[in-house]
Amino acid sequence: MQLTTKHLLGIKELSPSDISTILSTAEQFKEVLQRPIKKVPSLRDVTIVNLFYENSTRTRISFELAEKRLSADTINFTASGSSVSKGETLLDTVNNILSMKVDMVVMRHSASGAPHFLAKHLPDTSIINAGDGINEHPTQALLDAFSIIEKTGSLAGKKILLIGDIMHSRVALSNIYLLKKMGAEVMLSGPPTLIPVHIKKALDVQVEYNLKKALKWCDVANVLRIQLERQNQVLFSSLREYNLSYGVSKKILSEIDREIVIMHPGPINRGVEIDSDVADSNQSIILQQVENGVAVRMAVLYLLSGRQS
Amino acid sequence: MQTLLTAQQLQLTLNRLVHQLLEGEEDLRDIVFIGIQPRGVPVGNRMMELAAQLHPDKNIQYGILDITFYRDDIREELHIPKTTTLPFSIEGKKVILIDDVLYTGRTIRAALDALQDFGRPNKVELCVLVNRRFNRELPIQPDYCGISIDTVSSQKVKVLLDSQEVVLY
C-alpha cells in the first residue's frame, strides 16, 4: 500500500487514508526511537537535500534526525552563504543539486506555493514541504494530530481550538485541513484582525472571538505563535494587550471546569500567547509534540521513498 | 489444494516443537521467544500457550518483531510496518525466532539484522512450522522444524488460522 501522492505538498492534497497510513506508520517509528539503537537501514540508498530558504530550528533538526535515523544520506542547504545571494533562481539551484543524484527534497520557503512550483517542474523527485509562506506546514499538522491521538485516543469528534494569528499561520491552515478530513470539530479564536473574514464559510470552521468561551468549548487548545516579525503591520495594538485578551494563562484555565490539553508548535513567546506556568504545566504536551515530530517525519520520508512498484 | 497438516496433526506438531524448545531448559530467565510479524505471530502465540501449560509457574518471555524496515526489497515494493513489542532485554540471552514458513530465508536475514539493534544475544535459534527445502536464497536453516516439504516456487504454503490447518496450493 502506498500513498496516493508522490510529494507531500500540503494536507490539502492528502486523502484521509493517506493521513491514517502516515500516522500508523509513525507509531511504529516511535517504537524504533525507544530502542537501544534508534536507527533502521530502510533509506540506506536514498539521498535527501534539506533546502531551507527560511530560518528554522525544530523543523530542520527534526527532519535531519529523521533522515539520519532512516540511514539516508543528507545534505543541508541554507539560502544564506549559497549562490542564491548571487542571484541563482530556485529552479536552477534545485536542478543543480539534483544533477548530483539526489532523490528527495525537503524544502522550506517564504513564498507560498514554492514546493508546488518545484513539484510541477521536477515530477520525478519527491518534494516534501517543510513550510511554505503562509500556505501550509503539513508535517507540523501531522505531528499535532499524532500527539492529539496519543494523548486523547482519537481525532474523530474531538473539539480542537486554534488560538492566535490564523491569517499568517501555515500551521493553522494545515491543521484545519487535517482535522476536518479526520472528522474533528475546529474552532478558531483570536483578534478579528488576525482571522480571515470568510474562513468560517470557506473551511467550515467555527469562530469565537471570546477566548474564555472558546476554551470552555474545546478538548484541545493549540496556541499559535504571534509572529513578532509582523508586529509593524499594526494588527493588534501591543503584545501586552494581546496577552491580556488572548494569552493563555493559569487564571483563565482555572475558570474552566475541566482540564484541556495545551499544544504549541513553537517557538514560544513566553508571556505573549502563552504564560510560562501553562507552557511548563502537566496539561501541556509541547515537548511531546517535538518528540513525535521525528517519528512522523520518518514515516513521511519512508512512505514517499518507495519507488514505483 | 493439498492439506499438509490437519488440525489434529498441527496440534501434535506444535506440541512437539514446544517440548523440543524447552527440553533441558531448567531456568527460563535466559531464554526469549520472538514471533516474526505478520504470520509468525499467531504460530508463536499458540506455542506460548502450550509452553505456559507446561510451565505454569514460570514467566515465559515472548515478544513480537516486525522486520519491514530491514527488508532488502524496499525499493521494489513498499510495505506498511506492523507493531514490534519486545518488552525485555535480549542482551546475553538465547533468542528463539518463530516463523510460520521458511522459504527464501530473506525474512530471517532481516530479522537477524533487526535483532542487532536491540542488543547482542548469546545465541539465536530458528523455529519454523514448515520448512520449504528448495528455493532457499540465503544460507539459513532451521534449528527446530515442524515439517519439511519439497515444493516448487509457484506453489504456496499457508497456515490457515480459522480451520487450524496447514495447506499447500
pLDDT at B102: 95
Query: b or e along A128-166 (b: 16 or more beta carbons within 10 Å of the residue's beta carbon)?
Result: bbbbbbbbbbbbbbbbbbbbbbbeeeebeebbbbbbbbb
In chain B, which among 23-82 make CB contacts under 8 A with chain A?
66, 68-70, 74-78, 80-82
Which residues contact residue A17 at a Cβ distance below 8 angstroms, ignoring those fewer than 6 apart?
A: A4
Subunit contact A40:B70, Cβ cutoff 8 A: yes
Return the CATH number at B151.
Answer: 3.40.50.2020
Subunit contact A35:B69, Cβ cutoff 8 A: no
Query: b or e along B137-168 (b: 16 or more beta carbons within 10 Å of the residue's beta carbon)?
Result: eeebebebbbbebebeeeeebbbeeeebbbbb
* A177 occurs within a structural domain: yes
Q: Which domain holds residue A20?
A: 11-137+290-305
Would you give the DSSP letter of residue B85? B
* Predicted TM-score of the model (pTM): 0.92
Please tell me the distance in Å from A37's CA to the nearest CA on chain B. 5
* A206 occurs within a structural domain: yes
Ranges of chain A with pLDDT below 50: 309
Count of H helices and E strands in chain B?
3, 8
Please tell me the distance in Å from B40's CA to the nearest CA on chain A. 18
Subunit contact A309:B118, Cβ cutoff 8 A: no
pLDDT at B113: 95
CA gap A303, A126 in Å, rounded = 11
Grid cell listed for B56: 505454569
Identity of the residue in B77, B78, B116 whose CB atom sits nearest the CB atom of A303: B78
Subunit contact B81:A2, Cβ cutoff 8 A: no
pLDDT at A309: 41
SS (H, E, C) chain A: CCCCCCCECCHHHCCHHHHHHHHHHHHHHHHHCCCCCCCCCCCCCCEEEEEECCCCCHHHHHHHHHHHHCCCEEEEEECCCCHHHHCCCHHHHHHHHHCCCCCEEEEEECCCCHHHHHHHHCCCCEEEEEEECCCECHHHHHHHHHHHHHHHCCCCCCEEEEECCCCCCHHHHHHHHHHHHCCCEEEEECCHHHCCCCHHHHHCCEECCCHHHHHHHCCEEEECCCCHHHHHHCCCCCHHHHHHHHCECHHHHHCCCCCCEEECCCCCCECCCECHHHHCCCCECHHHHHHHHHHHHHHHHHHHHCCCC
Residue B104: how many other CB atoms lie within 10 Å: 14
Interface mutation target, options B74, B86, B116, B120, chain A, most CBs of A under 10 Å: B74
Subunit contact B76:A2, Cβ cutoff 8 A: no
pLDDT at B1: 83
Please tell me the distance in Å from B6's CA to the nearest CA on chain A. 33
CA gap A273, A288 in Å, rounded = 19
Residue B84 contacts A, CB cutoff 8 Å: yes
Beta bridge partners of B132: B149
Subunit contact A309:B84, Cβ cutoff 8 A: no
CA-nearest residue of chain B to A69?
B69
* A115 occurs within a structural domain: yes
* Number of independent structural domains in chain A: 2
Quick one: A96 and A232 in the same domain?
no
CA gap B74, B81 in Å, rounded = 12
Subunit contact B76:A309, Cβ cutoff 8 A: yes
Subunit contact A41:B83, Cβ cutoff 8 A: no
Return the CATH number at A196.
Answer: 3.40.50.1370
Asked if A200 and A207 count as a contact pair (C-beta separation under 8 A), the reply is yes
Interface mutation target, options A23, A39, A302, chain B, most CBs of B under 10 Å: A302
Subunit contact A39:B117, Cβ cutoff 8 A: yes
Task: Give B-chain residues touching A45 at CB under 8 angstroms.
Answer: 75
With residue B107 as reference, give the H or E element that holds it. helix B106-116
CA-nearest residue of chain B to A27?
B83
Asked if A168 and A224 count as a contact pair (C-beta separation under 8 A), the reply is no
Quick one: A71 and A189 in the same domain?
no
Task: Give B-chain residues touching A303 at CB under 8 angstroms.
Answer: 78
AA identity, residue A121: H
Please tell me the distance in Å from A143's CA to the nearest CA on chain B. 18
Asked if A157 and A185 count as a contact pair (C-beta separation under 8 A), the reply is yes
* A6 occurs within a structural domain: no
With residue B3 as reference, give the H or E element that holds it. strand B2-5
CA gap A83, A85 in Å, rounded = 5
CA gap A204, A222 in Å, rounded = 18
Q: Which domain holds residue B103?
A: 2-168
Subunit contact B81:A21, Cβ cutoff 8 A: no
pLDDT at A1: 59
* Number of independent structural domains in chain B: 1
* A3 occurs within a structural domain: no
pLDDT at B164: 81
Beta bridge partners of A49: A75, A105
Interface mutation target, options A5, A30, A34, A35, chain B, most CBs of B under 10 Å: A35
Ranges of chain B with pLDDT below 70: none
In chain B, which among 91-120 make CB contacts under 8 A with chain A?
113, 116-119
